[in-house]
Amino acid sequence: MGILIEPVSWDLMATKVAARKPGVSLDRVANDTAIEIVALPNDIEQVRMLEQLGIREHERGHVRAIAPLGGPILLEIGGSAVAIARGVAKRIRVRPI
């Protein structure tokens, strides 16, 4: 008999890895909350994209709006408004301040 290995999606694996990092995921933060970014995803392409938007580790910002039905989260970081997709927000760890 062989061993049955259940396939796991990359998103699920990334979410589990992110859960081991400090803080809470950005998608769990309440509206109108000041935050500090603690950790970014392990995907280098996503990190580059986020850094171009001004989202970096140790950067402080504010959750301005949370769209309903799994829509994006609107952050204010460095004086700019940035919309982050929920799938990406799940992989960003923050600390409410």
Give the total number of structural domains in the chain: 1
Q: Does 62 map to a domain?
A: yes
Q: Say how far residue 91 (Cα) sits from the centre of its chain.
A: 4
Tell if the pTM clears 0.85, that is, is over it: no
Q: Does 38 map to a domain?
A: yes
Radius of gyration of the chain (CA): 15
Q: Does 11 map to a domain?
A: no
Contact predicate 55/37, CB 8 Å: yes
The residue segments making up the domain with residue 37 are 24-96
Six-digit token string for 43: 């995907």
Task: Tell me the backbone φ, ψ of residue 95, rounded to 5 degrees.
Answer: -125, 120
Q: Does 36 map to a domain?
A: yes
Give the pLDDT of the chain (97 residues) as one tens digit per residue.
Answer: 566 566 666 556 655 655 566 899 999 999 999 999 999 998 899 999 999 999 999 999 999 999 999 999 999 998 999 999 999 999 999 999 9
Q: Does 80 map to a domain?
A: yes
Instruction: For residue 36, give the CATH number of its domain.
Output: 2.30.30.90
DSSP code, position 30 = P
